[in-house]
Structure 1
Amino acid sequence: MTARLSSLIVEDAVARALKEDFGDAGDITTNATIPAAANAKAVIAARKPGVIAGVDAALAAFRLTDPAINITVEKQDGARVQKGDVILSIDGPARGVLSAERVALNFMGHLSGIATATAALVDAVKGTGVKIACTRKTAPGLRAFQKHAVKCGGGHNHRFGLYDAVMIKDNHIAAAGGIAEALSAARADVGHMVKIQIEVDGFDQLEDALANGADVILLDNFEPETMKRAVEINKGRAVLEASGNITIDTVRTVAETGVDVISSGWITHSAPNLDVGLDFL
C-alpha cells in the first residue's frame, strides 16, 4: 500500500486552492441559489478507466469547506477503476458539497491522470525488473502530490529536489572541468548518506564515471543498442538509469536492454487528466 502524504502538506495546499476559489466573497452562485438547510447525497465516480490518486486532497477540500459533510471512501489511492466505479460517497450540506466540488475534482483528476500514465509504463515493462521513476519536472507547489501519484501508479520517485541527492549534468561537468573533477568534488563535499548521480552521453564519459565512483549513471538519450553495450561495460558496478524521449511504445525495448531504472518527465508534466466527476443522487 502506498504511504499517505502528511496531512500538513495536504491541508496547506488544499486550503490555498480553496482560498483562490473563494476569494473575498465566497461561492456567490451556490449561496444565492441553494438554501442553507439543503442536504445533498452525491458520488464522485470515474468516467474512464484508470488508477486513483488524490483521495486525501479531495477529502480535505470537503472537510475544510464544511466539516459537516460526511464521506465514505469507496476506492483508495492506488486502486484501479473502471468507468462508473464510485470513488467517494458524499452526504451533507449541499452548499458545502457544491463549493468544494471543483477543488476536489481538480486534485483527484490531475493526480489520477499521473497515476494512470505511470501504471501504463509499469505494466509495459512488467517482468523485466526495471523501475519506472519520475523526475523533477513537476508543477510548482505540487511536487509532493505528483510524486505521490507516481507511487500510486506503481512507479518510483527520483530525487525530490536539489537537496536530497547529487545529480551532475552536462553543464556541471563543463563548469567543473570534467567528469573526474566533478565527481571528486561532489564526493568530498557531501555526506556519506548522499547518492551521487552523473549524466553521460557516450562510452568515454561512461568509463570515466565508472572509474571515478559514480553511484548512479544516467544514460542520456542513448539508443537501445548503445544502452545494451553500456550495461555490458557497467558490469553491475553502478545503477544505470535511461532517460530521454521514453514513450509507451519504446519503454519495453528500453527495459529489455538491462538498465535498472527508466525515468520519465512526461508522467508528471504531460499526463492527461483522468475524467472523474461529481453527481448528485
Structure 2
Amino acid sequence: MNDTVTSKDGTIISYLKVGEGPGIIILHGAMESAWSHFELARALSDSFTVYLPDRRGRGRSGPYGPDFIIQKEVEDVDALLSKTDSHFVMGVSAGAIIALNASLELKAIHKAIIFEPPLMTDNLVSVDWVDRYDKEISAGKVAAALVTGMLGSQMGPPALHRMPRWFLIMMTKLMMTLEGPSDGSDGPIPMKVLAPTLHYDVQLILEFEDKQKDLVSTIGINVLLLGGSLSPPYLKAAVDRLEKTIPNAKRVEFAGFHHGATGNKNRGGHPETVASEIKSFLLAQV
C-alpha cells in the first residue's frame, strides 16, 4: 500500500506499507528509494508493519528545499512515527545517519537498527570527489557523475576500481539505457533520476561529522549495529566507532556480505538473513 504523510515544513513524504504488527520505519541509503528494501520488508512482514519512505527528493516525496539540513529528515521521520504509532527505526548507509540523529531526539523511538553509516573515520575516505561530481551533474554528464560517486565512495567490487574510467562510463550508460524511461513515480527509481540526490547525502555526512558525531554517546536506547565483512574499510571502521561509543549497542557482522546486504536480491542483498537478526533484536524483551 502507498500512502503519504506531511512533515513539519509541509513537505509530503510518500511511503510503502507492508505487513502487520508493531511498526518499523526503514530509511534507505544513497542512490536508493523505498523499493530498495521491499524484499527485506516482506521478510519482516510476518512480525511487523514495515514502512518504507521515499526520502526527500525521490519518487512522490517532496523536494529537499533550499534550507535542507539533517533536521528536515528527522522531522520527516517524526511525522511518520506519529502517524503510524511506530517505535522502531532502521537506517541504511546515509539513512543510518538520519536514524542516529532521530534516536538522539525523538522519544517515540524505542529501538534502532544502524547499518554501516558512511562516517569519515580515521581518514579512510574523502569527499574531495564531490566537486567533480557536482560539475558533471550540472553539465548533464550523469553517467560520468555516477562513476565519480562510485569510485569516490569506494562502492562496487575491487575489480571495478582497476578498470579504465571510460569503460566504467560506457557500462553505466548501458545500464541506464536498460532501466528504460521510467521516472520512478510508480516503482523503483532509475539511476539517472536518483543521481542528483547523492549531493545531499554527502551533505548529511559532513553535517553529522561537524555537529553530531560527539553526541551518539548520549543515545539511551538499545541499538543493533549491522555490517558486512566484505564492506569497504571505512564503513567497517564506522561501525567499530559506534560500537565503542553507543552505550547500549549490540553488533552483528554478516560474513561474506557487502554494503548491499540489506537490499533486494537483484542488488546483491540477503534480506531473509538480515531480517532474522532484526527480528531477534526487536522481539527480545529488554
Question: Could you tell me the TM-score, scaled by structure 2's length?
Answer: 0.23
Q: Which has the larger radius of gyration?
A: 1
| Larger RCO of the pair (alpha carbons < 8 Å, separation 6+) | 1
Question: Could you tell me the TM-score, scaled by structure 1's length?
Answer: 0.23
Q: Whose helix proportion is higher, 1 or 2?
A: 2
